[in-house]
Amino acid sequence: MTTQTDSSTPLVDRYINTWNETDAMKRAELIRTAFADEATYRDPLLAGDGQEGIDAMIRAVHERFPGHVFTRSGPVDRFANHLRFSWALATPAGETIVRGTDFATLDGDERFVKVTGFLD
Amino acid sequence: MTTQTDSSTPLVDRYINTWNETDAMKRAELIRTAFADEATYRDPLLAGDGQEGIDAMIRAVHERFPGHVFTRSGPVDRFANHLRFSWALATPAGETIVRGTDFATLDGDERFVKVTGFLD
C-alpha cells in the first residue's frame, strides 16, 4: 500500500486556504488553481457546482460566519487520486464550532474535481 | 441537517453481507441487489468495476482471507445519496486485522454505485 501524504498535504492546505480567502480576486484565483472547471462540492449543509458555484458557496459561508477560520486537522490520507482529510471551523476567538471530514477526488492536474464532506 | 442513519443501516448491512457471502450464487444475487450495474469500488488494495468485477474482487478476498468476516463498526452517516461507515475484518478466531471507512454514493434505486474505501 502506497501512501502519499507528504506530497498531497500542500494540495489540501491550498484547498483550505481557498475556504479562508475573503478577498474575492484572490479567492477566484485560488479556486481556478485548486478546483477543476467541473468541480462539485457536497456536504450536509452546502452545495456548489463549478468554479463559480464553489466561489458563491464559500462567499456565503463568510457572510454567515464572518472572521471564522478553517484549519486542516490531522494528516492527509491518499491513495491513487482519492483523498481524505479532516478539518475544523473556529470562531475568531479560536473556539471550534464544527468539525468535518472531506473525501475528494483529484483530476489529472491534481485539482479537486469532486468533494464530499461529512460532519464529525 | 437531516440524517437518515436508521433507514440506511439495512443497506449497509446488506453491502457488508455481500462481502461476507462465500456461496457464489447467493453472492451474485446480493451483488445484483446491492450494487448498480456500473458500480465501482476502490480502496488502497482492491479495485472492482461493474457487478462482475466486484464479484471477482470479493472472491479474491475470500481466497486470500478464508473464513474472515467483515462487520460494520459504528453507525451509518448519511446525507442525500452519500454514505459513510466504518468496518472491520476479523480472523476466524475473532481477531481484527484491518479497519477501514467506506464512502459511498447511491443511485436512485438505493444501490451502491461508487465506493471509495480508506484504511484506518
The total number of residues written for chain A in this structure: 120
One digit per residue, pLDDT tens: chain A, 120 residues?
A: 445 556 899 999 999 999 999 999 999 999 999 999 999 999 999 999 999 999 999 999 999 999 999 999 999 999 999 999 999 999 999 999 999 999 999 999 999 999 999 999
Alpha-carbon gap, residue A116 to A108, rounded angstroms: 19
Contacts of A74 (CB under 8 A, 6+ apart): A85, A86
The pTM of the full predicted model, rounded to 2 decimals, is 0.91
φ, ψ dihedrals at B61, nearest 5°: -65, -40
Chain A interface includes B94 (CB < 8 A) = no
Question: What is the predicted pLDDT for the residue at A7?
Answer: 82
Closest approach of A45 to chain B, Cα-based (Å): 6
Which of B79, B114, B119 best probes binding to A when mutated, by most A CB atoms within 10 angstroms? Answer: B79
Give the pLDDT score at B3. Answer: 52
pLDDT of residue A28: 96
Q: Is B118 on the interface with A (CB under 8 A)?
A: yes
CATH level 2 (architecture), domain B5-119: Roll (3.10)
pLDDT < 70 positions in chain B: 1-6
Query: What are the backbone dihedrals phi and psi of residue A29, each rounded to the nearest 5 degrees, phi first?
Result: -65, -45
Strands (E), chain A: 35-42, 47-49, 69-79, 82-90, 96-106, 112-119
A1–B42: do the CB atoms touch at under 8 Å? no
What pLDDT, on the 0 to 100 scale, is given for residue B7?
82
Nearest to A82 among B42, B77, B79 (CB): B42
In contact, A77 and B118? CB cutoff 8 Å: yes
Q: How far apart are CA A114 and CA A95, in angstroms?
A: 29
Chain B interface includes A118 (CB < 8 A): yes
Interface predicted TM-score (ipTM)? 0.88
Closest residue, chain A, to B119 (C-alpha): A77
Structure confidence at residue A5 (pLDDT): 54
Contacts of A82 in chain B (CB under 8 A): 42, 116, 118
